[in-house]
Amino acid sequence: MSRLIKPIEYAKEQNISRQAVYAKIKKGLLHSKTVDGKIYVVLNEGETPPTPKPNTSSPAPHMVDAQDLLASKDETISVLKESIKDLKETNTEINTTLRGEIELLKQVFAELRTLYV
């Protein structure tokens, strides 16, 4: 005899995502059944869902030294601060130029108004 469980329940039991369950069903790794348009995972009565193997790997030997990581982070921060400073200066220049252009347009508009009115 077999039992039907929802893919989300199977995912919780296996500590995997719901999408991973649907991918396994699609690949044929999990037996499934569709009832009233809903998909269920089929588990045999004596069968328990396989449990994932615990990750017992040792720390990677190529771990980055914390000091090197902090130094690179500080360097990145200083580069970003310099970029912000340059962008602010550029923004100020653009604003100044735009204000000047607006003043010129106002003057031209005033001259045109006096000519045609």
- pLDDT for 4-27, tens place per residue? 889 989 889 889 988 889 899 888
At 62, which amino acid appears?
A: H
At 70, which amino acid appears?
A: L
Q: Tell me how far the alpha carbon of residue 38 is from its chain's centroid.
A: 30
Rounded distance, CA 32 to CA 66, Å? 47
Rounded distance, CA 52 to CA 16, Å? 9
Domain ranges of the chain: 2-44, 64-117
Q: Computed over its alpha carbons, how large is the radius of gyration of the chain?
A: 33
Report pLDDT digits (tens) over 49-68: 555 555 555 555 456 578 88
Report pLDDT digits (tens) over 102-111: 999 999 999 9
Rounded distance, CA 78 to CA 72, Å? 10
- For residue 77, name the pLDDT band (cuts at 50, 70, 90): very high
